[in-house]
């Protein structure tokens, strides 16, 4: 186990609804990144949070937003859900003092939009 936990593990939502996914980072890690992984594809970078500030964003629309809390846990919020948002959402935590630092992934949240 990596020490990174995500909740919930599975979720079914209706198109147009909003969803919040949660991630608890590994102890001592101050950076959390979120990724979207469609079936059969590699993960795509959504955004990263470092010490409660967004620190980089991928090619995702503004309806994807996030938060990082003082204990470095994080949330991913998606508004106005679309069918194509169905995917495995992964969070990864790391200690961002070095670019060669290891990133540890949670088990993911499987989101299905119907």
Partner 1 sequence: KNQVEQSPQSLIILEGKNCTLQCNYTVSPFSNLRWYKQDTGRGPVSLTIMTFSENTKSNGRYTATLDADTKQSSLHITASQLSDSASYICVVSVEDSSYKLIFGSGTRLLVRP
Task: Catalog residues that contact partner 1 under the rule CB under 8 A.
Answer: 2, 4, 31, 33, 35, 40-45, 48, 55-58, 88, 90, 92, 94, 96, 99-108, 110
CB of 18 to partner 1, least distance (A): 24
Nearer to partner 1, 71 or 100 (CB): 100
CB of 102 to partner 1, least distance (A): 6
Q: Kindly state the tokens that stand for 109.
A: 């949240």
CB of 77 to partner 1, least distance (A): 20
Pick the closest to residue 25 from 78, 79, 102 (CA basis): 102
CB 72 within 8 A of CB 93: yes
In the chain, what's the furthest Cα-to-Cα distance? Answer: 41
Q: Kindly state the tokens that stand for 32.
A: 């959390």
């Amino acid at each position: 186990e990596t020490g990174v936990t995500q909740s919930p593990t599975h979720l079914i939502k209706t198109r147009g609804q909003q969803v919040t996914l949660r991630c608890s980072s590994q102890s001592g890690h101050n950076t959390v990144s979120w990724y979207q992984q469609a079936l059969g594809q590699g993960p795509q970078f959504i955004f990263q949070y470092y010490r409660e500030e967004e620190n980089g964003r991928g090619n995702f629309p503004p309806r994807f937003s996030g938060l990082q809390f003082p204990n470095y846990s994080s949330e991913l919020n998606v508004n106005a859900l679309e069918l194509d948002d169905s995917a495995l959402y992964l969070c990864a935590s790391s200690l961002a003092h070095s670019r060669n630092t290891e990133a540890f992934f949670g088990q993911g949240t499987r989101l299905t939009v119907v």
